[in-house]
């Protein structure tokens, strides 16, 4: 009986496709699976940023500048009724700093799927529904401050949602450009070898021995001031991907070199396959999974680059909102010491970078299902 | 060995050339040429540039001539140490940069040394005592080092230093030594301020090196020659340090070349957060005010310094580890 079960198990492995084997192996890596869920969650925020935000990210108001984060009170007595306290702002007569006092008598109920500012859901359907909000007649951007407000009195939580959208998509575009460069140059290098290989490898070595951040800064600073947000966005993407492709090219080259001498590639060539067919039908599927893993590992670097550039004020510029742009307000230690919540945008950066690293590690292990 | 060093040196020359082209591109990128902005700058200060002077400057930098001639003319000035004139500071670029370049070097080298000094013993410990508490702690620090961008780490440390200890951990000098001339006390003051920035800069590299060292050493520890050494009755420390550590050092050492550029890169942003008097803050200011000669020169000098540093570490490595000479690189 036991042997029969084992046989079935074995048979299952023998007939499983490459992707099935990878999935089985990936599933065993708990941390990687959890990280995949975290990454998926972040991309859901990207899709539904305007639904999750309850306040207009650009609505500024000096009267509510630098408000501390405010807690939601979930129960009123024993009854479930989420609400926040109204806040009274006043200027401290000694420090001239605005201080805010919660007023427990003034309970503002929080409604789910409430009406708020208008936006287009997924960029398609115009709607005014938001995950949370307040009763009609009240303005959510003046009453709820889950993560506090910035100097201009804009709601940090809502801005964080929009920033997630920009920071994570810029990473995706950047990695796509890097991937194209890496696959083409790494592929040429590995497939042809010889002089092409030497030239490309030396170019990679040169690029890798240059300190990149001063170079990015120089290129980013040269972007014309009058460019629109969209133009700057794409220019920054290209700058960070131009210098980030080397690692991907190395992986692709390594795989090409390993596969070039494999029996199935040699036989494909012997039966008269054209070069393009040999590459795309026979070789690429064999190392596709490795490329996916390497790409996942390259993403965090892209996200950090964008954050760093914007943090310096050379990347995306306000009114664009990204994690780096939000962190720009936390540059000064005096400001941060008085309003530490301005450092909150660092949390998603760290979480997403860690999640991508674990996910990439898991994918890399899974990409080689016959490995250890 | 000579052939290896020769090859490395040749590559370094090419790298320096690539950096010079890129720096020149940075100088050239903003609209308008140098002389026009110089005249505008002078006019805004109320002094006039005569036509003759302007013409001389144009000839000196080869403006109006093909781009490669401009590049060559610029290179010729650079080689003799004339990096042009800083618009914003109204002083020669070399004067503006001054000590800052050397302080950048000091901070980067300190971070590099700290990286090795920490990664080597911790990596060995993690491998030898796999799955011990210390190993888990090292792994955890490793993940933090990989996931937290160093400028955010600097910000967090600065914040806690400020709120918990009411101390400013930024800067490289105490206030009384800020503008003092160099002396033994000032140098000692610098040494006392170095650990925090060096640790922040080195953490990511350390994390990576620990992982590499641990993985390599674990592979080696399972090999039969280790068992042989142990069965001969060698002490445990000798068994580990004499053979497997030496073998595991090789891949570890080959990453040195990429560690320095990484640290120098990071030092730019970390310097801004910690307000270190390195070239970082200067570069940012120069870029924002479009002071391109200053910015281009900083990029060029940083690049060249890094290449020289990498070359030195390469040569030291061949000298220390004979196996590299045999390897086909």
Pairing of strands B85-86, A73-76: unpaired
Amino acid B57: pLDDT: 74
Q: Tell me, yes or no, if B21 comes closer than 8 A to chain A by beta carbon.
A: no
Q: Which residue of A has its CA nearest to B24?
A: A218
Contact A213 B266 (CB under 8 A): yes
Q: What are phi and psi of A56, to 5 degrees?
A: -60, 120
Name the A residues in 143-162 with CB < 8 Å from any B CB: none
A192 pLDDT more than 50: yes
Split at pLDDT 50, 70, 90, the class of B186 is confident
Which range, of A92-96, A284-288, B213-217, averages the lowest pLDDT? Answer: A92-96
Chain centroid to CA B125: 28
pLDDT, position B324: 57
Report the distance separating Cα A258 and Cα A330, nearest Å. 48
Model pLDDT, residue B252 = 67
Rounded Cα gap, residues A89 and A99, in angstroms? 6
Closest CA to A84 of A99, A103, A98, A100: A103
A210 part of contact set with chain B, CB < 8 Å: yes
Is A217 close to B287, i.e. CB distance below 8 A?
Answer: yes
CA distance A259 to A252: 11
Predicted confidence at residue B299, as pLDDT, reads: 86
In angstroms, the separation between the Cα of residue A32 and the nearest Cα of chain B is 14
Residue B30 CB contacts under 8 Å (≥ 6 apart), including other chains: A222, B290, B292
Q: Which of A218, A308, A345 is most worth mutating to test chain B (most B CB atoms within 10 A of its CB)?
A: A218
Q: How far is A64 from chain B (nearest CA, A)?
A: 24
Calpha distance A108→B209 (Å, rounded): 53
Spell out which residues of chain A touch residue B257, defining contact as CB-CB under 8 Å: 208-209
If DSSP states are collapsed to H, E and C, what string results for chain B? CHHHHHHHHHHHHHHHHHHHHHHHHHHHCCCCCHHHHHHHHHHHCCCCCCHHHHHHHHHHHCCCCCHHHHHHHHHHHHHCCCCCEECCCCEEHHHHHCCHHHHHHHHHHHHHHHHHHHHHHHHHHHHHCCCCHHHHHHHHHHHHHHHCCHHHHHHHHHHHHHHHCCCCCCCCCCHHHCCCCCCHHHHHHHHHHCHHHHHHHHHHHHHHHHHHHHHHHHHHHCCHHHHHHHHCCCCHHHHHHHCHHHHHHHHHHHCHHHHHHHHHHHHHHHHHHHCCCCHHHHHHHHHHCCCHHHHHHHHHHHHHHHHHHHHHHHHHHHHHCCHHHHCCC
- % residues pLDDT > 70 (chain B): 90
Q: Which residue of B has its CA nearest to A306?
A: B149
| Residue % of chain A over a pLDDT of 70 | 95
Three-point CA angle B20, B24, B27, nearest 5°: 145
Residue B254 pLDDT: 66
State whether B303 and A211 contact (CB < 8 Å).
yes
**Is any Cβ of chain B less than 8 angstroms from the Cβ of A346?**
yes
- Test B258 with A208 for CB contact under 8 angstroms: yes
Residues of B in contact with A32 (CB under 8 A): none
Q: At what angle do helices A212-221 and A284-312 cross, to 10 degrees?
A: 70
Query: Residue A88: how many CB atoms within 10 A of its CB?
Result: 11
pLDDT at B161: 83
Q: Render pLDDT for A288-331 as a digit per residue (tens, 0 to 9).
A: 777 888 888 888 888 888 888 888 888 887 788 888 888 888 87
* Residue of A155, A132, A159 whose CA lies nearest to A67: A155
Choose the most confident range, by mean pLDDT, from A231-245, B20-34, B163-177, B217-231.
Answer: B217-231
**Least trusted range by pLDDT, from A3-7, B185-189, B277-281, B319-323:** A3-7
Chain B residues touching A346 at Cβ < 8 A: 152, 155-156
- Which of A39, A212, A214 is the best residue to mutate to test the B interface, defined by the most B CB atoms within 10 Å of its own CB? A214
Q: Contact A64/A90 with Cβ under 8 angstroms?
A: no
Confidence of residue A41 (pLDDT cuts 50, 70, 90): very high
B303 inside 8 A of chain A by CB: yes
- Please indicate if any CB of chain A lies within 8 Å of the CB of B299: yes
Interface with chain A: mutation pick from B100, B108, B151, highest number of A CBs within 10 Å: B151
Contact A212 B258 (CB under 8 A): no
| Angstrom distance (rounded) from CA B204 to CA B198 | 11
- pLDDT for position A137: 67
Decide if B208 contacts B139 (C-beta within 8 A). no
Residue A11: other Cβ atoms inside 10 A: 10
- From B184's Cα to the closest Cα of chain A, the distance in A is 31
Over the stretch B87-141, which tens digit does the pLDDT of each residue have? 777 788 888 888 888 888 888 889 988 988 888 899 899 888 888 888 888 888 8
pLDDT of residue A298: 84
Tell which wins on pLDDT, A121 or B195. Answer: B195
Give the pLDDT of residue A37: 92
Residue in the block written with tokens 């281009």: B296
* SS3 of residue A102 by DSSP: strand
Shortest Cα–Cα distance, A229 to chain B (Å) = 18
Better pLDDT: B150 or A286: B150
Q: Check CB contact under 8 Å for A308 and B269.
A: yes
Residue A2 has pLDDT above 70, yes or no: no
pLDDT reading at B232 higher than 60: yes
Q: How far is A296 from chain B (nearest CA, A)?
A: 14
Task: Tell me the ipTM for this assembly.
Answer: 0.77
The residue of chain B with its CA nearest to that of A324 is: B152
Select from B12, B145, B149 the residue whose CB has the most chain A CBs within 10 Å, as the one to mutate to test that interface. B149
**Distance between CA A182 and CA A225 in Å, rounded?**
31
B18 to A210: CB separation less than 8 angstroms, yes or no: yes
Looking at residue A38, its pLDDT comes to: 92
pLDDT band at B73 (very low <50, low <70, confident <90, very high): confident
Number of A/B CB contacts below 8 angstroms equals 131
Residue numbers of B between 214 and 243 with CB closer than 8 Å to A: none
> B242-267 pLDDT, tens per residue?
888 887 777 666 676 678 888 888 88
Of B14, B148, B159, the CB nearest to A333: B159
Whether B147 and A357 lie within 8 Å, measured CB to CB:
yes
Do the chains contact at A209 and B148, CB–CB below 8 Å? Answer: no
Contact B261 A212 (CB under 8 A): yes
- In this model, does residue B215 exceed pLDDT 70? yes
Mean pLDDT of chain B: 81
Between CA A245 and CA A298 the distance in angstroms is 9
pLDDT band for B176, please (50, 70, 90 cuts): confident
Residues B149, A349: C-beta atoms closer than 8 Å? yes
What percent of chain B has a predicted confidence (pLDDT) above 90?
A: 1
Residues of chain A with Cβ-Cβ distance to B143 below 8 Å are 354, 357
Does the pLDDT at position B328 exceed 50? no
> In this complex, is the C-beta atom of B14 within 8 Å of any C-beta atom belonging to chain A?
yes
Of the candidates A85, A121, A117, which has an alpha carbon nearest to the alpha carbon of residue A100?
A: A85
CA distances from B113 to A56, B108, B195, B205 (A): 49, 9, 11, 11
* Six token digits for residue A280: 């795309």
* Partners of A73 in the β-ladder: A83
Q: What pLDDT score was predicted for residue B329? A: 44
**What is the largest distance, in Å, between two alpha-carbon atoms of chain A?**
88
Q: How far apart are CA B318 and CA A172, in angstroms?
A: 40
- A333 band by pLDDT with thresholds 50, 70 and 90: confident
Structure tokens at A249: 């090219």
On whether any CB of chain B is under 8 Å from the CB of A222, the answer is: yes
Enumerate the residues of chain B whose CB falls inside 8 A of the CB of residue A340: 159, 163
B268 shares contact with chain A (CB less than 8 Å): yes
Residue B169 has pLDDT above 80, yes or no: no
**Chain B residues within 8 A of A308 when measuring between CB atoms:** 149, 151, 269
CA nearest neighbour of B47 among B38, B56, B58, B36: B38
CA A24/CA A47 separation, integer angstroms: 29
Nearest chain A Cα to B30, which residue? A222
What's the whole-number average pLDDT of chain A? 81
* Separation between Cα atoms, residue A44 and residue A165, nearest integer Å: 9
Higher pLDDT, A124 or A270: A270
The whole-angstrom distance between A99's CA and the closest CA on chain B is: 19
Q: Are the beta carbons of A170 and A315 closer than 8 angstroms?
A: no
Min Cα distance B58 → chain A (Å) is: 22
pLDDT given for residue A40 in this prediction: 92
Q: Do A202 and B14 touch (CB under 8 A)?
A: yes
């Amino acid at each position: 009986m036991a042997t029969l079960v084992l046989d079935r198990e074995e048979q299952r492995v023998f007939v499983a496709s490459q992707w099935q084997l990878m999935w089985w192996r990936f599933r065993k890596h708990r941390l990687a699976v959890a990280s995949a869920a975290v990454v998926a969650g972040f991309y859901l925020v990207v899709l539904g940023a305007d639904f999750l935000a309850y306040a207009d990210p650009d609505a500024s108001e000096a009267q509510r500048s630098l408000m501390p984060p405010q807690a939601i009170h979930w129960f009123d007595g024993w009854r479930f009724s989420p609400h926040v306290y109204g806040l009274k702002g006043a200027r401290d007569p000694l420090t001239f700093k605005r201080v805010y006092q919660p007023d427990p008598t003034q309970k503002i109920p929080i409604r789910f799927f409430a009406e708020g500012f208008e936006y287009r859901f997924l960029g398609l359907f115009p709607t005014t529904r938001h995950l949370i909000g307040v009763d009609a007649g009240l303005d959510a951007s003046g009453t709820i401050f889950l993560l506090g407000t910035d100097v201009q009195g804009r709601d940090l939580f809502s801005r964080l949602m929009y920033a997630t959208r920009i920071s994570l998509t810029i990473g995706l575009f950047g990695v796509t450009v890097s991937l194209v460069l890496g696959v083409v140059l790494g592929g040429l290098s590995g497939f042809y070898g010889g002089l092409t290989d030497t030239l490309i490898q030396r170019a990679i070595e040169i690029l890798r021995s240059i300190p990149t951040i001063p170079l990015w800064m120089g290129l980013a600073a040269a972007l014309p001031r009058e460019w629109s947000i969209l133009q700057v966005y794409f220019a920054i993407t290209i700058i960070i991907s131009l210098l980030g492709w080397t690692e991907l090219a190395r992986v692709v080259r390594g795989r090409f070199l390993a596969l070039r001498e494999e029996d199935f590639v040699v036989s494909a060539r012997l039966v008269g396959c054209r070069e393009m067919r040999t590459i795309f039908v026979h070789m690429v599927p064999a190392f596709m999974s490795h490329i996916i893993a390497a790409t996942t590992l390259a993403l965090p670097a892209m996200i950090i680059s964008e954050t760093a550039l914007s943090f310096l004020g050379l990347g995306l510029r306000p009114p664009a909102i990204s994690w780096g742009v939000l962190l720009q307000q936390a540059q000064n230690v005096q400001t941060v010491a008085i309003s530490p919540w301005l450092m909150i945008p660092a949390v998603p950066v760290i979480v997403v970078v860690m999640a991508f690293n674990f996910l990439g590690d898991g994918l890399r292990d899974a990409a080689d299902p016959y490995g250890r | 060995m000579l052939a290896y060093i020769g090859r490395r040196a040749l590559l370094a020359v090419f790298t320096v050339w690539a950096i010079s082209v890129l720096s020149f591109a940075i100088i050239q990128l903003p609209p308008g040429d140098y002389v026009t902005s110089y005249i505008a700058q002078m006019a805004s200060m109320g002094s006039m540039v005569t036509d003759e002077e302007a013409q001389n400057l144009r000839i000196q930098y080869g403006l109006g001539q093909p781009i490669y001639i401009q590049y060559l003319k610029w290179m010729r000035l650079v080689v003799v140490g004339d990096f042009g004139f800083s618009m914003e500071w109204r002083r020669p670029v070399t004067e503006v940069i001054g000590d800052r370049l050397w302080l950048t070097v000091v901070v980067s080298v300190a971070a590099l040394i700290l990286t090795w000094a920490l990664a080597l013993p911790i990596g060995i410990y993690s491998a030898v005592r796999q799955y011990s508490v210390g190993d888990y702690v090292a792994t955890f620090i490793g993940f933090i080092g990989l996931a937290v961008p160093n400028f955010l780490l600097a910000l967090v440390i600065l914040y806690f230093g400020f709120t918990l200890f009411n101390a400013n951990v930024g800067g490289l000098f105490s206030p009384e030594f800020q503008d003092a001339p160099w002396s033994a006390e000032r140098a000692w003051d610098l040494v006392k301020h170095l650990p925090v920035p060096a640790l922040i800069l080195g953490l990511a590299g350390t994390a990576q090196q620990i992982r590499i060292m641990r993985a390599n050493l674990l592979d080696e520890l399972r090999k039969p020659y280790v068992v042989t050494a142990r069965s001969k009755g060698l002490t445990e420390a000798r068994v580990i340090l004499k053979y497997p550590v030496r073998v595991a050092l090789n891949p570890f050492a080959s990453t040195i070349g990429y560690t320095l550029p990484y640290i120098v890169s990071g030092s730019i942003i970390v310097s801004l957060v910690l307000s270190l008097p390195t070239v970082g803050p200067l570069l940012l200011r120069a870029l924002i005010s479009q002071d391109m000669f200053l910015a281009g020169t900083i990029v060029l000098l940083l690049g060249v310094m890094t290449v020289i540093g990498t070359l030195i570490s390469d040569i030291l490595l061949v000298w220390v580890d004979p196996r590299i000479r045999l390897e086909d690189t």
